[in-house]
Amino acid sequence: MHRFICLLFTLIIMFTTLQPNQIQAEDKNDSIAKNAQSAILMEKNSGMTLYDKNADKELPPASMTKIMTLLLIMEELDKENLKLDEKIRISEHAASMGGSQIFLEAGEEMTVEDLLKGVAVASGNDASVALAERIAGSEEEFVKQMNQKAKDLGLKNTKFQNPTGLPADDHYSTAHDMAVMARELLIHEEITDYTSIYDDYLRKGEKNEFWLVNTNKLIKSYPGMDGLKTGFTEKAKYCLTASAKKDDLHMIAVVMGAEKPKERNEAITSLLDYGFGQYEGIKLHGKEEVLHEMTNPRGTPNTLALVPEKDVVVLKKKNEAKSNYQTSITLNEKVELPIKKGDHMGWVTVNNGKEEVSKVRLEASEPVNKANILELWKRSFRNLAGFEKF
């Protein structure tokens, strides 16, 4: 009996000692994104995840699906396969889309830029399908491109059935995957020229003038917010992938499965407040800074400046001492001509001691074409004559 009482007393002491830490952990988790089924906070430049809650849980993303749609649109614009002033004729299929729409009519023509506004600001399902059909020939082919891009980005918990986010079986993603897609979309900086619009007009001055109002109300109330995409269906509930900047930090916050718009916005605000309140960014290199010069004797020009894809930023907690960071450059082994501006040429890696804390792609700052025979002859002659290379 004495031994039993001693054992019971010991267990009571242990439980009393451990309980406060468990409560603190629960309180800490509950104070951030408490009304979301899943959530994540990621810093865009460093790619670091600062907070997550069930971030790999597969859920319907609703209209946040359009982040991938917008990414493919921006890539086509960058490749000049699509131009902002190009007019697209609206198909019967695109005009038939339900849900959020800009009320396109079959046979109507609208510019790519206005359709892009319709997607980014008003979450137009009809505008999304119209652009998808223009890019890939059909909605089905565009969805194949969406899923291939998800695979290219290493996303293992995402599958799309349409470019809109309208309810469909086997259409899902995760908070983590949405953050990665958003990070890739934000590489195309012009996208925030559209996602940060609070209101605008389509068909201005015409009988069928349409007032665009951003579905993300935090654009107007949260400092530094410039996008990106809301979502809602009965099954998905209220979702939002948000982007906001402050100093050298660029945060991406994702919330999925909130019951009410207010709860969704509170969850996003709590994530962003946590990130900006607890962390600070240290910019080591700007995105236009030349970090390496590559020489190619068969190219014109024969010297190519390499720049980082985005600002090279590392994060630290505000109460931590600044570390001594080491930066190293790794170049791709094989480089074939011609080279396009923005082509991936290598990596810039940042280490804190033995720990890798950031890795950013190195890109070509300008195009390089194959030198013609005359240019190669001139270089050979100048080299043989001992003249300076050019």
- Percent over 70 (pLDDT), the chain: 89
| H helix intervals, the chain | 2-30, 66-78, 92-95, 112-120, 125-136, 139-152, 175-185, 192-195, 218-221, 261-278, 373-385
Point out the catalytic residue in the list 66, 149, 229, 310. Answer: 66
* d(C-alpha 351, C-alpha 353), whole Å: 6
Predicted pLDDT of residue 119: 98
Q: Which of 167-171, 293-297, 341-345 has the highest mean pLDDT?
A: 167-171
Look up tokens 């959020």; give the residue: 100
- The residues facing 40 across adjacent strands are 52, 254
Q: Are strands 344-352 and 38-43 parallel, antiparallel or unpaired?
A: unpaired
* d(C-alpha 74, C-alpha 320), whole Å: 38
Predicted pLDDT of residue 62: 98
Ranges 99-103, 320-324, 345-349: which has the least confidence: 320-324
Predicted pLDDT of residue 370: 87
Structure tokens at 320: 């931590």
How does pLDDT run across 42-95, given as a tens digit for each residue? 999 888 999 999 999 999 999 999 999 999 999 999 999 999 999 999 999 999
Predicted pLDDT of residue 134: 98
Predicted pLDDT of residue 9: 36
Ranges 25-29, 236-240, 316-320: which has the least confidence: 25-29
Point out the catalytic residue in the list 123, 128, 173, 358. Answer: 123
How does DSSP assign 321-339, residue by residue?
PPP--EEEEEE-S---SSB
Q: Are strands 249-258 and 237-246 parallel, antiparallel or unpaired?
A: antiparallel
Q: How far is CA 43 from CA 190, 225, 298, 313, 326, in A?
A: 19, 14, 40, 9, 20
Question: Exposure of 148 by Cβ count < 10 A (0-12 exposed, 13-18 middle, 19+ buried)?
Answer: exposed
At residue 15 the predicted structure's pLDDT band, cuts being 50, 70 and 90, is: very low
Give the distance from CA 334 to its chain's centroid.
28
Point out the catalytic residue in the list 38, 44, 53, 63. Answer: 63
Angle at which helices 175-185 and 66-78 cross, to 10° = 20
Active site residue 66: yes
Predicted pLDDT of residue 178: 98
Active site residue 63: yes
Active site residue 138: no
**Residue-averaged pLDDT of the chain:** 89
How does pLDDT run across 104-146, given as a tens digit for each residue? 999 999 999 999 999 999 999 999 999 999 999 999 999 999 9
How does pLDDT run across 355-383, given as a tens digit for each residue? 888 889 999 999 999 877 777 667 666 66
